[in-house]
A and B are shown apart, each in its own frame.
Chain A
Amino acid sequence: MAREAKKFSRPALVTHSDALPLDSALLLSMHGHMLRARCLEERLIAMYKQGHGYFWIGGPGEEAFNVPLGLLIKKGQGPAFDFLHFHYRQSATLLAMGEPTIGALRQMKNTATDPYSGGRNFAGHFSKREWNVAPVTSPIEVQYAMAPGTALAQKRLGGDAITIVTGGDAGTAEGDFASCLVWSSRPGQELPVLIVVTNNRWGISTPYGQVQGVQKISDRAVAFGIRAKTIDGNDPISSYLELKEAFEYVRTERKPYLVEANVSRLYGHSSASGANMTTAEADCLAQFEALLQRHGLLTAAKAKAMREEITEQLLAEARLVRDEPQPDPSTIFDHIYA
């Protein structure tokens, strides 16, 4: 694609067999977040299977992309900070931003203590106003219609805060995706939106190629003059570097950028399709651990020990959450209005 040719302050990529292009502290921190996110999703699935929740949906398989995304976000409340319109596979991003794991368990168990919805909404439906995390909602793609609104407020304010919107590939068939492209690229009024599509090539059971003729979703941006790129979302290093470039562009140019990240879906669509591990798709965590081992940054024993420790901690949190009360039925009318 012609538009990809022009690079924006892109750090030189060094091949992985050589020295890694990110410093080892960052690499290990990314690995830690990815591992914790994976363990969290596995704990949520286990809770669902044990009857400690009604439904599971989440992001195992997207960690290599979602963690760097979280690390690059400028978090805080109000238009001076990044605004986040996420879909339901974003746990790794939240963890990378510093969110504790226990809230997700509480939401899975729909306890009164669920910090995102008070036991009202499904797993993975985060909401955190302190960090501008807009409520994740089930209707596919609606967040793309809202993103230009927060971005307009940010553009008006000045500064470098941006809006980030994420969603899947199948959802791009909805009109709201087109709305986002139209509204963020009005001539002379372009908006600082990082438009993300995580492409796992599935919409529940429907393969992408069966229903959409666009070769690359990033091509959709071309007609709008929006800079865009398709990247390997299974590689946390290239995800970090590509996202860094995209963030820099949106922050400084105050214009939209579309990133399409090819990712895996490792436990199927949701609990409705069984939530069982598939080996048919690339596992970004296993790949990254192998890479770190090849470079002497991690040992198999260390990785195993880390996993055990996180799993143990999540188990303890799950036990705690198990005994927490459900929301009181008298609260159903609370918060209809502010």
Chain B
Amino acid sequence: MANMAQAIRMALHYAEENLGVTDIFGEDVGPPLGGVFTCTQGLKTTWNSPLDERGIIGMAMGLAMAGQRPVAEIQFCDYIYNTIDLLKLAGNTCWSSNGQWNLPLVVMTPVGSGIRGSLYHSHSFDATATHIPGWKIVMPSTPLDAYGLMLAACEEKNPVMFLKPKALLRIKGEELIPGEPGDDKQLSKAIDAPLGDRSAWKAQWPAVGKHVVRIGEAKTVRAGEHLTVVSYGRTLPLCAKAAATLAGEGISAEVIDLRTLWPYDWAAISASIKKTGKVLFVNEDTEVTNFGEHLLRRATEELFYELLAPPKLLAGKFLPGIGLADALEMASVPQQGDIETAMRALAAQAP
């Protein structure tokens, strides 16, 4: 099966061919590299931009204003911070003009830990992104969802922030993308750029089909009775694994992959909490003014009398960065063991 980088690439190919995407650009996005995580290899509308993040966002906004449909990449979300007032502007252009203007653009950027990236290749961006109104924000945890969310993003009339969990970009999926060849070697040969000289290389795209994951729809990846775990991105598969482990101990956990951070699927979250009475939110951004804190507040305010235990948040430590050494990274952001511990503790709580 395709990994997430290949899935994004195939989605962008589909979007170039069918959804009117005109420009896929950013630092090292075009040939020969096709993106530092290979997400843009072989595509026909890619180009290399100057090394200027503000210029990249501004270019995307201008293109969108003039009727193009850009997908811009910020190479690592660690370097998106100097664009925040342009992101705010993209988010308020429709509102400030009282509905005159809209900006159909996608910004994609790799986020999170998991590659021993130290201070500036490990940042998360979900907490900050969810502070910027006017955007839709998605973050897949599987290749198929990455494919479907990218198609949805490229059909949107509004700015979409597509967060790529970098720890999962190389992980193969368990579900086929429509039209994807079943044989991984065959897929790789067709769409992965060769090593060495690539000047004559062209991708042989499989005839991938339409598969849209609607923005705003969460997915219950495991049903359960005793507690609800809500996560997204890198920590989602860890939560699913933790739930499988705990099932052996008689703890039945329901795991929800949020997939869209804004506008998020409160109906799915609240229905699950009403069923289980307990909820743990898990993400790896720093825990102070974390997006999970918003979900905690809402769960507490709206579902207080449904709860059997205080809702919990497991998030990254409030640190200036993630240290390079393995022990430092492990101690800074939630790992599977931390998630299991938090789930066990929550399951054990009695009113």
Q: Contact mask A114-144 → B, CB, 8 Å, 1/0?
A: 1011101100010111000011010100101
Chain B residues with Cβ below 8 Å from A135 are 93, 96-97, 100-101
Residues in A with CB closer than 8 Å to B98 are 114, 116-118, 120, 127, 334-335
Contact B100 A127 (CB under 8 A): yes
Stretch at the interface among A9-17, A151-159, A211-219, A257-265: A151-159
In Å, the complex CA distance between A153 and B96 comes to 23
Nearest CB on B from A5, distance (A): 29
CB contact under 8 A between A145 and B96, given known A79-B67, A152-B62, A338-B157: no
**Nearest Cβ in chain A — how far from B269, in angstroms?**
21
Which residue of chain B is the closest to A149 with respect to CB atoms? Answer: B62
Q: Is the CB of B158 within 8 A of A183?
A: no
Q: Indicate if the CB atoms of A146 and B65 lie closer than 8 Å.
A: yes
Q: How many residues of A contact B (CB 8 A)?
A: 43
Determine if A139 and B55 form an interchain contact, defined as CB atoms under 8 angstroms apart.
Answer: no
Binds B, one of A25-33, A174-182, A247-255, A295-303: A174-182
Give complex CA distance A137, B96 in Å. 9
B133 near A: Cβ within 8 Å? yes
Number of A-B contacts (CB under 8 A): 135
| Complexed CA–CA distance, A179 and B64 (Å) | 18
- In the complex, A319 has a CB within 8 A of chain B: no
A212 to B87, alpha carbons, bound, how many Å?
28
Residues of chain B lying within 8 A (CB to CB) of residue A153: 62-63, 66-68
Interface centre among B58, B99, B102, B136 (most CB of A within 10 A): B58
Chain B residues 70 to 103 lying within 8 A of chain A, measured CB to CB, are 70, 85-86, 89, 93-102
Contact A337 B158 (CB under 8 A): yes
Chain B interface size band reads 35 or more
B133 near A336 with CB under 8 A, answer yes
Q: Is A90 positioned at the interface, with any CB of B under 8 Å from its CB?
A: no
Considering the chains assembled together, what is the distance between the CA atoms of A116 and B98 in angstroms? 7
Question: What's the Cα separation between A185 and B63 when bound, in Å?
Answer: 17
- Is there contact, CB below 8 Å, between A78 and B97? no
Nearest CB in chain A to that of B60: its residue: A149
- Given known A-B contacts A182-B55, A183-B55, A79 and B50 have beta carbons under 8 A apart: no
Assess whether A148 is interfacial by the CB under 8 Å rule. Answer: yes
A147 an interface residue at 8 Å Cβ cutoff? yes
Distance from B131 Cβ to chain A, minimum over Cβ atoms (Å): 14
- Closest residue of chain A to B51 (Cβ to Cβ) is A182
A334 partner residues in chain B, CB cutoff 8 A: 95, 98-99
**B57 in the interface, Cβ–Cβ < 8 Å?**
yes
Tell whether, in the assembled complex, residue B89 and residue A142 are in contact, meaning their CB atoms are under 8 Å apart. yes
A175-B54, A176-B54, A179-B58 known; A338-B99 Cβ under 8 A: yes
Nearest B residue to A85, CB-CB: B62
> How far, in angstroms, from A116 to B101 measured CA to CA in the complex?
11
B57 partner residues in chain A, CB cutoff 8 A: 145
Contact between chains at B54 and A152 (CB < 8 Å):
no
B52: interface (CB < 8 Å): yes
Bound form: Cα–Cα A268–B97 in Å: 27
Q: How far is the CA of A145 from the CA of B157 in the complex (A)?
A: 21
> How close is B99's CB to chain A, nearest CB, in angstroms?
4
Q: Once the chains are docked, how many angstroms separate the CA of A176 from the CA of B101?
A: 22
Contact of A83 with B by CB under 8 A: yes
Which A residues between 59 and 107 are near B, CB-CB below 8 angstroms? Answer: 78-79, 83, 85
Cβ of A294 within 8 Å of any chain B Cβ, yes or no, is no
Please determine whether B89 and A139 come into contact, CB atoms closer than 8 angstroms: yes
B12 → chain A closest CB, angstroms: 19
**Known contacts A179-B52, A337-B158; A149/B133 CB under 8 A:** no
Judging by beta carbons under 8 Å apart, are A142 and B62 in contact?
Answer: no
CA A335 to CA B158, docked complex, whole Å: 11
B61 within 8 A of A: yes
Contact call B62/A150, Cβ cutoff below 8 A:
yes
Q: Does A3 contact B (CB under 8 A)?
A: no
Taken together as a complex, chains A and B put the C-alpha atoms of A12 and B61 apart, in Å, by: 40
Inside 8 A of B96's CB, which chain A residues have their CB? 117, 120-121, 125, 127, 135, 137
**Other-chain residue from A78, A146, A336, A338 in contact with B58 (beta carbon distance below 8 A):** A146
List which B282-338 residues lie within 8 A (CB) of chain A.
none
User: A150 is contacted by which of B66, B94, B136, B157 (Cβ under 8 Å)?
Assistant: B66
Instruction: Tell me whether B134 is interfacial, beta carbon within 8 Å.
Output: yes
User: In the complex, A79→B59 CA distance in Å?
Assistant: 14
User: Separation in Å of the B58 CB from the closest CB of chain A?
Assistant: 3
* Whole-angstrom CA separation of A111 from B25 in the bound complex: 41
Contact of A336 among B67, B85, B134 (CB under 8 A): B134
Alpha-carbon separation in the docked complex, A162 to B212 (Å): 37
Residues of B within 8 A of A186 (CB): 50
Q: Which of B66, B70, B86, B136 contacts A145 (CB 8 A)?
A: B86
Contact A338 B54 (CB under 8 A): no
CB-CB nearest 8 A-B residue pairs: A149-B62, A145-B58, A338-B102, A118-B98, A153-B66, A335-B99, A179-B55, A127-B97
**A and B contact pairs by CB, cutoff 8 A, 15 listed:** A83-B62, A116-B98, A117-B96, A129-B97, A135-B93, A137-B96, A139-B85, A142-B86, A150-B62, A152-B23, A152-B63, A182-B50, A182-B52, A183-B52, A336-B95
